[in-house]
Structure 1
């Protein structure tokens, strides 16, 4: 029994810093340093989150175009006359991005709820978490290293 309790405590100790890390960042720090009014700081961080989302959306769109352009040859399926490898690849790519967006939203809701959903900083925790995950995902997408669209 003592081993289980000890294991639980160790797991909780290591999981808490990771949540704290997702809710903190340069954007949040800059907004709160730059704006005296708390509402203005929250709006600043919200705008930074919107910009981050837009940057990710643009990259996803560019990658989608590259996939369709670079894999424009037909599939080997006899019954799919107008289907290309790119259209199949792109479908899976876009489906994975939708799933990732859901993951991001849900994880950041969890991270923000760690301070209580009624807490004043709830939204700023959520926004910073989404910015941090967007940055990491942008790095992941760059690893695809696709050639430019034809």
Structure 2
């Protein structure tokens, strides 16, 4: 009985847990790029453009967050009593460092995902790009989950 109640509560509070998960190598961008094409190179070029657009969007969201830190007086307080750094400068440094680490992770992880089809598979590079698009979407969500700045 307790398990059923827990499951029901989980489904109500966290409906996304109950949804089917799309594999990282699949996505609407890849589907749209390969729909109704004459040759696969058109699809490859299309997904490459979507990949570039996705990377630009991650960078735009990150820059917006970093800029909002610079312009917010709430981030001018001292980070601690041992240094002259502000909470904003520490936040910026750490967020920028985490982004560099995340970029390396994304590249390596999507190479692992694409290895399932083999490097010589005709869909190898588009699979890497779709995986990175999917992970970029999640990164944007993570950055946005940082929420509004403290008041």
C-alpha change, 1:106 and 1:75, in structure 2 (3 Å) is same
C-alpha displacement of 1:77: 3.3
Specify every segment of 5 or more residues in structure 2 that has no aligned partner in the other structure, as ranges. 1-20
Distance in 1, matches of 2:71 and 2:64, equals 11
TM-score by length of 1: 0.78
Aligned to 2:98: 96
Paired residues of 1:66 and 1:146 also in contact (CA < 8 A): no
Q: CA deviation at 1:119?
A: 1.1
1:35 pairs, out of 34, 37, 41, with 37
Higher normalized helix content (fraction of residues) = 1
Shift of 1:79: 4.4
What do residues 10-60 of structure 1 show as CA deviations (whole Å, max 9, x unaligned)? xxxxxxxx8x80000100000000432210110000000000000000000
TM-score (structure 2 length as normaliser): 0.78
- Count of aligned residue pairs for this structure pair: 128
2:76 maps to what in 1? 72
Retained in 2: the 8 A contact 1:104–1:133?
A: yes
Alignment match, 1:141 = 143
Matches within 5 A, 1:107-146: 107-146=109-148
Q: 1:77 to 1:125 in 2, by over 3 A?
A: same
Gaps of 5+ in 1: 1-17
